[in-house]
Amino acid sequence: MGMPPHIQAHFAQAHITRAVETVGAIHDKLVSESKETNLMYERFYNNLALFSGGTIVLSVTFLGYLKSTTKSIERQSALVDCWIILIVCLACSLFWNFFHTHYAIYSRNRELSEAEKKRYETEIDEIAQVGAANINTFAQIEEYRRPRRDAVEILRKKVKYYERREKIYLFVWQWGGRLARVSFLLGIASLVYFAISNTH
């Protein structure tokens, strides 16, 4: 024995309302994306870029000092390695925020498109149960569903588009950050090795 029509209409309306609220919540999340945390990370990678550039300048100054002395310069390849590694760190640090921003944009747009698609699918499934005053006949229900089916197809393509780019930028963002941190440490280690080799 099925539920009475007014109970079915109540649950159908509740499903539609929940789908609309989900879209609104994700949209709000898109607007207020943890700004403080993002600023802290941005500051960290900006500082890392500054330290990398400063370390390169310092190493050039140190090289100039060594050339002004009568000693021969040892382990020059370590200094060249240091410069290459720190330039990699500098580039990854400078572009970290760019990659993160693009990842966040594509990620949130995918979530929003998925929620909108779910909302339209819910409206398509539940409209017959809602009992709206101006949507009673089969033809009226189909007329209501048709543009929503078209919207679902468009949103399905959008989700795939956003998802592909989200994965690319997530990968580049995460590995760019890791490479920046590791290369900074390696660059400093290489510079210290060069300095120790030339201070005997």
Tokens representing 55 are: 């370390």
Tokens representing 143 are: 């007329």
Q: Are 156 and 68 in contact (CB under 8 A)?
A: no
Tokens representing 129 are: 């149960």
Q: Taking the mean position of all CA atoms in its chain, how far away is CA 170?
A: 5
What is the per-residue pLDDT for 39?
80
pLDDT digits (tens, 9 = 90+) for 76-99: 888 889 999 999 999 999 999 899
DSSP 81-96: HHHHHHHHHHHHHHHH
Round to whole Å and give the CA distance between 73 and 198.
6
Q: Are 50 and 158 in contact (CB under 8 A)?
A: no
What is the per-residue pLDDT for 133?
66
Q: CA dihedral in degrees (127, 131, 133, 138; nearest 10)?
A: 60
Tokens representing 88 are: 């990699």
pLDDT digits (tens, 9 = 90+) for 103-157: 999 999 999 999 999 988 888 887 767 666 677 777 777 888 888 889 889 999 9
At residue 199, the 3 state secondary structure works out as coil
Query: Average per-residue pLDDT in the chain?
Result: 85
Mean pLDDT, residues 150-168: 93
pTM: 0.68
For the ranges 12-21, 69-78, 110-119, the one whose mean pLDDT is highest? 110-119
Domain boundaries, the chain: 5-197
Handedness of CA 172, 176, 182, 187 (dihedral sign): positive
Q: Are 90 and 187 in contact (CB under 8 A)?
A: no
Hey, which CATH number is domain 5-197, 3.40.1350, 1.20.140, 1.20.1260, 1.10.3930?
A: 1.20.1260
Q: Are 194 and 79 in contact (CB under 8 A)?
A: yes
